[in-house]
Structure 1
Amino acid sequence: MQHFLLSSAARTLSLKKVFKMGEDAAYRTFCELRWPETEGEAVCPRCGCVETYNITSRRKFKCVACHHQFSVTSGTIFASRKLSFTDLLAAIVIFVNGAKGISALQMSRDLDVQYKTAFVLAHKLREAMALEDAGQVLEGEVEVDGAYFGGHVRPANAKKNRRDRRLVINQSGKRQVVVVGRERGGDSMVTVAKSEAKGGEIISAAIHHMSTVHADEASHWDDLHAKFDTRRINHSLAYSDGYACTNQAESFFSRLRRMEVGTHHRIAGRYLAAYAAEASWREDNRRVDNGSQAMTVAAAAMEAQVSRKWAGYWQR
């Protein structure tokens, strides 16, 4: 039987379709994503009035009640955009089509924009993706695990000056751990912390008390037994014993590692949480066609407020 990702059902939107639809159709798509309740008819973000004038020369609206002027991207994560709506939609399609992510450099070449533009745009999309985890509760069979990223110490040039890096953990002080909680056949959520124990406390607080939790034999997971029906697997003996396993969590880390090695090359530091959230979203939506993925990300971006972190990023 053919794998879903290899079938035509997984390909419902392409760059060719985006550029053939034109600027007017792309603009209409963003209007329908911003105001789905009114089928794309503008609603004033200030007073909520549904009666507006169209300022067609500038693609803006004017509220009848409060006379506030606004555009379809006003107050969203795309506020103050300079790219055309066609390019924005194409950027989203390019972004979701990357199975292991896409680098800002490649996106800048595909869209013919500056690297800075592609870098900020990609991170805005990751921020919109991460909003899905807000207030999330994991239920059912939940697997938890952690993996460390960053803190690499380059070996000294001369052999006499080299140290055994296995003997001293986190020599640089920059190593962080990504901890994931993942429902079997469902959603996942991630957090970044200095230690797996602290990250595990955050994830366990978001798990329903009636859930069954699977974890490895690390001692900091012992506290799970007091809260949940907990099953443990000793990876030195087996990866799955028919009773417990964390293979779904390991699948997430496999994707994140390959994003780091093959696409982004460095995801540690202050951006690690953003890349982890992206990998979590990609794992959760891996069986969804790319057209639905693109519309989901675009809708999340239109619902998100102006980014406090990425608006005016290069201007500090």
Structure 2
Amino acid sequence: MAQHFLLSAKARTLSLKAVFKMGEDKAYETFCEMRWPENDGEAVCPKCGCTETYNITSRRRFKCVACYHQFSVTSGTIFASRKLSYTDLLAAIVIFVNGAKGVSALQVSRDLDVQYKTAFVLAHKLREAMALEDAEQKLGGTVEVDGAYFGGYVKPANERADRKDRRLLANQSGKRQSVVVIRERDGDMLTFVGKHESDGVEAVAARVDTDAVIHADEASHWDVLHARNEVRRINHSEAYSLNGACTNMAESFFSRLRRAEIGTHHHIAGPYLNAYAGEMAWREDNRRVSNGAQAGMVLEAAMDAPVSRQWKGYWQRAAA
């Protein structure tokens, strides 16, 4: 029997021990190489684009020869105004990608000896940077779509006589949300969060090519997709796969998201559900990529991402 990829040596190309062993100088060089790969890690002014700079080594900053603008390797990126060392930031990224079902902010807080809210915001900045990679992506070929509901749990009353039918709308909390996944077979996936599963129909129409073959279940809101695509339907009350039609790949994504909720984060609903769904989609897309390559992808995405509007600073009063 062939060895699973995650158990093989090919999956382990970067360890936390190696990150701390490299030291702050090497970590800083890694950030420079990721920020300015087109200039071999040499600084490029973000204001005027000049490639000639003075190196202020005492503060790890640069000064542009042309416009005299001062900047650092993280200026204008999602790590702008950072307080953690470059080694800690790299270690946080490695810890983040090493969690097959995600990693909690509490664990990152303990591993790096930082405040919980520091770890929480840092993790969400990484999720935001990862999501930007798929901002304009469209899917084609054979595509599966499906939805699942998260959040809005209503605890039953203690006494049986006081319990209500939680399936009725009047007895629900109103906080339940639907995650719709659009998954390309042997390709990437996109996620959308709405109040109802039917809210994802518009997202499917906008992000799936018209020549794609869509597989969906028998829910009536998917009927409108027949007007623009070839759609194959599967009735799950009769079979999970029939005549080539199935949504098993989409269902496998929900399995990963459920496990992340139950085993790691415990509560992923509310205003952050979209971020967690996007993270799990990224992990599923790159499940056959080594952890070292995954860390490089996340770091590169963070260096390309602009300053976060939602997570600027180290805390926020209310979720956007």
* TM-score of the aligned structures, taking structure 1 as reference length: 0.98
Which residue in the other structure is 1:44 paired with?
45
Shift of 1:282: 0.4
Q: Secondary structure at the match of 1:134?
A: coil
Structure 1 residue 169 displacement after superposition: 7.2
Which residue identity lines up with residue 136 of structure 1 in the other structure? Q
Q: Compared with structure 1, are the counterparts of its residues 242 and 12 closer, same or farther at alpha carbon in structure 2 (3 Å cutoff)?
A: farther
- SS where residue 133 of structure 1 aligns? coil
Aligned position for 1:277: 278
Question: Counterpart in 2 of 1:185?
Answer: 186
User: Deviation digits for residues 180-236 of structure 1, max 9, x if unmatched?
Assistant: 100001010011011111112212211000000000111111111111111111111
Unaligned runs of 5+ in 2: none
On the 8 A contact 1:54/1:62 being kept in 2, the answer is yes
Matched, 1:97 2:98: yes
Contact 1:103 1:263 in 2 (8 A): yes
SS at 2:315 equivalent: helix
CA distance in 2, matches of 1:25, 1:132: 26
Q: Which runs of 5+ in 1 are unaligned?
A: none
Give the letter aligned to residue 292 of structure 1.
A
1:119 aligns with 2:120: yes
Q: For the residues of structure 2 that align with 1:280 and 1:38, how far apart are their CA atoms?
A: 32
* TM-fit CA distance, 1:138: 0.4
Match of 2:195 in 1: 194
User: In the aligned structure 1, how far is the partner of 2:7 from the partner of 2:147?
Assistant: 31
Q: Which residue is equivalent to 1:250?
A: 251
- Name the structure 1 match of 2:109: 108
- Which residue identity lines up with residue 111 of structure 1 in the other structure? L
Give the superposition deviation at 1:313. Answer: 4.6
1:267 aligns with 2:273: no
Q: Secondary structure at the match of 1:135?
A: coil
Which residue number in structure 2 is paired with residue 87 of structure 1?
88
CA contact (8 A) 1:126 1:278 kept: yes
| Counterpart position of 2:73 | 72
Partner Cα distance (2:243, 2:35) in 1: 46
Task: Name the structure 1 match of 2:12.
Answer: 11
Q: How many residues align?
A: 316
Q: Secondary structure at the match of 1:192?
A: strand
Q: Residue 159 and residue 298 in structure 1: after superposition, are their counterparts in 2 closer, same or farther (change >3 A)? A: same
Are 1:59 and 1:71, in contact at CA under 8 Å, matched by a contact in 2?
A: yes
When residues 237 and 292 of structure 1 are mapped into structure 2, their CA distance, relative to the original with a 3 A threshold, is same
Distance 1:204 1:239 in 2: 24
Q: In structure 1, what is the Cα distance between the partners aligned to 2:67 and 2:261? A: 49
Q: Following superposition of structure 1 onto structure 2, how do residues 206-221 of structure 1 map, counting pairs within 5 Å?
A: 206-221=207-222
Determine the C-alpha separation between the residues in 2 that align with 1:94 and 1:315: 24
Contact 1:28 1:40 in 2 (8 A): yes
Letter in 1 for 2:62: F
- Look up the match of 1:295: 296
Deviation at 1:151, TM superposition (A): 1.0
Change beyond 3 A, Cα 1:207–1:56: same
Q: Secondary structure at the match of 1:253?
A: helix
Q: Are 1:151 and 1:170, in contact at CA under 8 Å, matched by a contact in 2?
A: no
Query: Does the 8 Å contact 2:118/2:314 carry over to 1?
Result: no
Residues 190 and 203 in structure 1, CA contact (< 8 A), matched pair in contact too: no
RMSD (Å) for aligned C-alpha atoms: 1.1
Once the two structures are TM-superposed, the CA of residue 54 in structure 1 deviates from its matched residue by 0.3
Any idea what the Cα deviations from partners look like across 1:135-193, whole Å, max 9, x if unmatched?
11001000000001111111123322210112337711111100010000101001101
